[in-house]
Amino acid sequence: MDGSEDRQRCYNLLFYGFEDAADQTWAQSEKRIIDLCSEHLEISLQQRDVEHTHRIGRFNQEKHRPIIVQFKHFKDRKQVLTNAKKLKGTNYSLSQDFSPSTRKALKHLLEFGKASRQTYKLRYDKLTIGNTIYAFDHALKK
């Protein structure tokens, strides 16, 4: 189930750091993303390149909700993700969109990798430390 859900999310990216308003429309969110890509990522996106854009969750004055963006073409999403390093030093960030169970697995694997105090690589739902590959077991929750 999670694999198919993650495949459905493969065109999505989550954007963080945008100020929020209770009455913000999807068109305003879309414009903010297109402007960010142009100004900070040096990528020329058009409205036709974006399938859908909206905020996630309920409005809360205390914090800003992320914006989820579904791209029409995987290559546009990949280009944005590749250029994400250009956001360093700004208030903005972005991440891939995964299913809740994959996010949970990634969180546990990241904690395990940091605790090992060794060089590690986290790739999708696998953690590599040296020549050993680790995966999160949802049944055992470890």
In angstroms, the CA 82 to CA 68 distance is 17
In angstroms, the CA 26 to CA 6 distance is 23
In angstroms, the CA 10 to CA 77 distance is 9
CATH architecture of 9-96: 2-Layer Sandwich (3.30)
Please tell me the pTM assigned to this model: 0.79
Phi, psi at 10, each rounded to 5°: -65, -15
pLDDT value for 2: 63
pLDDT value for 86: 95
Tell me the C-alpha to C-alpha distance, in Å, between residue 85 and each of 41, 80, 119: 9, 10, 20
Q: Which of 84, 61, 59, 68 is nearest to 14 (CA)?
A: 68
Q: Which of 64, 45, 48 is nearest to 56 (CA)?
A: 64
Please give the chain's pLDDT, 142 residues, in tens.
467 777 788 899 999 999 999 898 999 999 999 999 999 999 999 999 999 999 988 998 888 999 999 999 999 999 999 999 999 999 999 998 888 888 888 888 888 888 888 898 888 778 889 888 988 877 666 6
* CATH 3.30.70.1820 intervals, the chain: 9-96
Alpha-helix runs per DSSP H in the chain: 2-8, 26-39, 74-82, 100-116
pLDDT value for 140: 67
pLDDT value for 1: 47
